[in-house]
Amino acid sequence: MGTGNALSNEQKDAEQDNPNYTDGNKRNAAQQFALITLNRDKPRDTNWGKPNCKQPGNHDEADLCQQIEAVHTAQYTFVANGVQEVLALLALVGLVVTGIFTNRAANAAVDAAKYGRTAAIAGIRSAKAARESVSAARAQIAITERNARLESRAYVHVEEISILDENPKHQLTFAIRFKNFGNTPADKVTFIAGTTNNVIGNPSFDLPERKPLYYSLGPGQEHTTTANHSLALWHIIRPQLLNGGRTYYLFGEIRYFDAFQDQANEEPRFTRFRSEMILVDEGIAKGIFVFSDEGNEAN
């Protein structure tokens, strides 16, 4: 085996010494290199003003494309930020405008509330004035009705008191004439009278109790009744009356209903009168009656 290796090495050495000898490994490598050299594309020149960023030719061109893309991204970002700022500004303007209109609406609501309150107050005052006007109208109507009743109702008063006989033989007789001075009838008219003097003691104006007699008096109608006095007593007091300082009274009361009264529920009207005799020294009983300063009243 050693001889075989030696022979092989010798053979190899002999082959290597041959001028046309070529090592197999080197030969294969040369072929591959030749192939690579033949297949390699021709390098292109890079347009640095307008690089081909889809297929960059080298590392520098690819780096330039990345820088250009970064610039474009920054530009897009700047534009987007600008748009966002514009939108934000528009939103702010919208908020300001909304605030202005809201404030105006609020002021308008406040003004409307004020006007509403003013209108309500005016309405209340108007209603109050209307009520007062109605009340005043009613009061005026009541006053008018009252005045109409006062003008139209019956008024019964004493018209005249006189002495019927100046020289009586048995008793003095006084005539009292009363009359309805109103414009409507007087119903259930009653009359009561009495006499008194201050010759003997103080005068008494208490009316005697008598059963009433009823009369009816139309407008302008009159009625005459009488009152009597003892002739004997008259002769006693006559000298005192003539000497002065003493007074002879004839007094009484008239009661009646006017046409506007409810006779079942209202009190009758009254006329109270008081008169004094002025006596002269002629005959037995000559003189006149005049109304006193007191004791005369009516409703």
Domain boundary among 152, 170, 200: 152
Residue 46 near residue 57 (C-beta atoms within 8 A)? yes
285 and 166 in a common domain? yes
Angle, CA 197 vertex, CA 193 and CA 201 arms, to 5°: 130
Residue 279 near residue 248 (C-beta atoms within 8 A)? yes
Q: Cα-atom radius of gyration of the chain, to the nearest Å?
A: 74
Instruction: Report which of residues 40 and 158 the model is more confident about.
Output: 158
The answer to the question of residue 33 being in a domain is: no
The single residue listed with the structure tokens 């009254």 is: 270
215 and 186 in a common domain? yes
pLDDT, mean of residues 129-155: 90
The answer to the question of residue 127 being in a domain is: yes
164 and 132 in a common domain? no
Cα 152 to Cα 145: distance, rounded to the nearest angstrom? 10
146 and 168 in a common domain? no
The answer to the question of residue 96 being in a domain is: yes
Domain boundary among 101, 131, 152: 152
283 and 207 in a common domain? yes
Residue 278 near residue 290 (C-beta atoms within 8 A)? yes
pLDDT, mean of residues 267-285: 93
273 and 168 in a common domain? yes
214 and 121 in a common domain? no
Look at the chain and report how many structural domains it folds into: 2
List, for residues 159-202, the tens digit of each pLDDT value: 999 999 888 888 999 999 999 999 999 999 999 999 999 987 88
List, for residues 69-127, the tens digit of each pLDDT value: 887 787 777 777 778 888 878 888 878 888 788 788 888 888 887 888 888 888 898 89
The answer to the question of residue 273 being in a domain is: yes
The answer to the question of residue 187 being in a domain is: yes
188 and 266 in a common domain? yes
135 and 147 in a common domain? yes
Domain boundary among 126, 152, 178: 152
CATH number at residue 175: 2.60.40.10
The answer to the question of residue 162 being in a domain is: yes
pLDDT for res 96? 81
The answer to the question of residue 26 being in a domain is: no
Task: Say if residue 152 is exposed, middle or buried (CB neighbours under 10 Å; 0-12, 13-18, 19+).
Answer: middle
Residue 214 near residue 190 (C-beta atoms within 8 A)? yes
DSSP letter assigned to residue 276? E
Laid out side by side, the sheet with 171-180 consists of: 156-163, 171-180, 222-230
Domain of 50? 46-152
The answer to the question of residue 181 being in a domain is: yes
pLDDT for res 74? 77
Residue 183's nearest CA partner among 228, 147, 159, 210 is 147
292 and 173 in a common domain? yes
113 and 244 in a common domain? no
The encoded tokens of residue 32 equal 């591959």
114 and 195 in a common domain? no
